[in-house]
Structure 1
Amino acid sequence: MDDAAERARAYLAGHRVMTLATSGPEGVWAAAVFYVNDGWQLYFLSAGHTRHARNMAASPRVAATIQEDYADWVEIKGIQLEGTVRLLEGGARAFAIVHYAQKFPFVRRPEATIETALARVNWYCLTPDKLYLVDNSRGFGQRDEIDLAK
């Protein structure tokens, strides 16, 4: 039996970069960020002075995509989602950092520049309320809406 939710979870776990679309006082913006997921929750970091961080502070509703750079339409697979971002503090921030470091070991390097940078950045959690799995290998334009309650 085919389970689109399981395929979507596997896709999230197997990829590293999402393109985050935000909107705020300066208009719409898109930025690529590394993420780690815990279930459907997507954790990422960003410096507070960036345009997308300023936009998220003004309006926490965002959209995002996760995909590879395919050469043929029939190969296209990916995730499209929309949801709400929240700034993390305390235990939630610590949780995100631990999980992020498991996926991206380079953040544990003993270089002062990385440690200093990680101490200054904001950590965020994107909670999707709509998520779609696109898979053109199953038919052109194939898109499954995922029930996030599962």
Structure 2
Amino acid sequence: METKNERVRRQVNEYLQGHNVATLATCSDGKVWAAAVFYVWDGATLYFLSAPASRHAADLARNPQVALTVQEDYADWPEIKGVQLEGVASELSGAEEARARRLYGEKFPAVGIVGKVPATLVKALAKVRWYQVVPQHLYFIDNSKGFGHRDEVLL
């Protein structure tokens, strides 16, 4: 029999695998920032890419603590579902970067298929850095169960 934590973890995995864009919040020097990033989720870690000169990448270099949300643009509050997490972000290299690239290419085939990627995108991808976010706290929001209802996934 599935425990509540296993059920919520399954819901989170399905939700994150079924969506593409996360809002990443960073903080550095007492200033907060939020940016939309395309991501891939492997069941325990979220991966994304970004230009190293972006404000959020610069923030991550100084402060790896992040918050992140994934949700749709709902019109009615009882329909709201989504994921909130707080965690630690880090830049990837070596085998970890190769794994992130592979997973990203599987989710976004236009990025992963060399020869089918437009030259402008190839140039852009050559300049990005790959990052991971390892959750420390993870929640599934489901307002169909009541306003502000959220379940924590025990990690």
Instruction: Say yes or no: TM over 0.5.
Output: yes
Query: Which residue identity is paired with 1:95?
Result: R
**1:144 and 2:151 are equivalent in the alignment:** yes
**Which residue does the alignment assign to 1:89?**
93
> SS in structure 2 opposite 1:117?
helix
Superposed CA RMSD:
1.2
Equivalent residue, structure 2, for 1:60:
64
Instruction: Tell me the matched-pair count.
Output: 148
Counterpart in the other structure of 1:115 = 122
Consecutive unaligned residues of structure 2, counting only runs of 5 or more, are none
Offset at residue 147 of structure 1 (A): 1.0
- Which segment is superposed worse, 109-118 or 47-56? 109-118
Report the alpha carbon displacement of residue 96 of structure 1 after superposing the two structures with TM. Answer: 0.4
CA–CA separation in structure 2 for the residues paired with 1:99 and 1:5: 20
Kindly indicate whether the alpha-carbon contact (under 8 Å) linking 2:110 and 2:117 is maintained by their aligned counterparts in 1. Answer: no
Aligned-residue offset at 1:25: 3.0
2: distance between equivalents of 1:91 and 1:9? 23
| Contact 2:39 2:47 (8 Å CA) reproduced | yes
State the Cα distance separating 1:26 from its structure 2 match: 7.1
SS in 2 for 1:118: helix
The amino acid of 1:93's aligned partner reads E
Q: Output the TM-score relative to the length of structure 2.
A: 0.91
Is this contact kept in 2: 1:26–1:55, CA < 8 A? Answer: no
**Which ranges of structure 1 fall in alignment gaps of 5 or more residues?**
none
The alignment partner of 1:35 has SS state of strand
Percent of matched pairs sharing the same residue: 53
Structure 1 runs of 4+ with >6 Å offset: none
**1:40: Cα distance to partner?**
2.0
TM-score (norm 1): 0.94
